[in-house]
Amino acid sequence: MTTQLHEPDNLVKFLDGSVANYPDRPLFGTKNAQGVYEWISYAQVGRRVNNLRAGLAGLGVGRDDAVGIIANNRLEWAVGAFASFGLGDRGRLDKDGFLHITGRINEQFKLENGKFVFPASLEEDICLVPFVENAMIFGEGKEYTVCLVVPDPLALEKYAAENNLPADTEELIQTQEIRDRISRAITESLRGKYGSYEIPKKFIYITENFSLENGTLTQTMKVKRRIVLERYRKEIEALYTR
């Protein structure tokens, strides 16, 4: 019998999803000297895990290294375990010294020239561009990256009304003017922040957003990259033959 695993399929993703969905709920309780339990929330545990993970990474501990945790049944053991499980994540420290996870190392891909691309941070920045609701970067083993773009229908409708263009989103996104406008905005927003090899050279525009209903999102609202890639493989491959 074959058992199929669904997201979240590991403890790191399980904790990440729980922190995102239940930040204020109590997670661990520790009995104080008076015998009363003091509780800390999912969000507090998540911050401790991220901070310890950053510290371990700063010491040079990485993916596949052995980490031994010797402790009795206590909060610090759980924090240490989750921090160790997640080593190999990609992140950044803000000006206050807090760690922000920007992607998973196992989500990176290598271009034909041998350079690595971390798609998650690119996608986050692309989604900040006006007219863009969602985006996904591809390019593994290719000469350059390409981008699948889901335009923001409300922004498109507003632009159409202001410029006497067709109000239908499906029709509007087929116009070269709109595609060129969004493509230029994406490229300009990434220039100077990312290497030229990371910035997508070509774009695909679709109107169906990623969702639980169409099977492209996990229960924790993360995009299923492999599913999206398979669904639009022909269109993506076509970009490299034009």
Name the one residue in this structure whose structure tokens are 């041998």: 114
Q: Do domains 11-104 and 109-239 have the same CATH topology?
A: no
Name the one residue in this structure whose structure tokens are 């998650």: 120
Q: Which residues pair with 104 in a beta bridge?
A: 89
pLDDT score of 91: 60
Indicate the class that CATH gives domain 11-104: alpha beta
Nearest Cα residue to 150 out of 127, 117, 122, 184: 127
* pLDDT-above-70 percentage for the chain: 86
pLDDT in tens, 54-111: 777 767 676 667 778 787 888 888 898 888 877 766 665 566 655 555 555 556 788 9
Distance between CA 20 and CA 220 in Å, rounded?
8
Q: Where exactly are the structural domains of the chain?
A: 11-104, 109-239
Q: Read off the amino acid at residue 158.
A: K
pLDDT in tens, 102-151: 555 556 788 999 888 888 889 989 999 989 999 999 999 999 999 999 99
Looking at the chain, list the stretches that DSSP marks H as alpha helix, in order from N- to C-terminal side: 11-21, 42-58, 75-85, 119-126, 153-162, 169-172, 176-190, 225-231, 233-239
Name the one residue in this structure whose structure tokens are 């030229």: 196
Contacts of 105 (CB under 8 A, 6+ apart): 63, 88, 89, 90
Specify the CATH number for 109-239; select among 3.30.2270.10, 3.40.120.10, 3.90.1570.10, 3.30.300.30.
3.30.300.30
pLDDT score of 3: 46
Q: Is the pLDDT of residue 14 over 50?
A: yes
pLDDT band of 16, cuts 50, 70, 90: confident
Contacts of 192 (CB under 8 A, 6+ apart): none
- Residue 49, both tokens: 């895990």
pLDDT band of 200, cuts 50, 70, 90: very high
pTM of the predicted model, to two decimals? 0.60
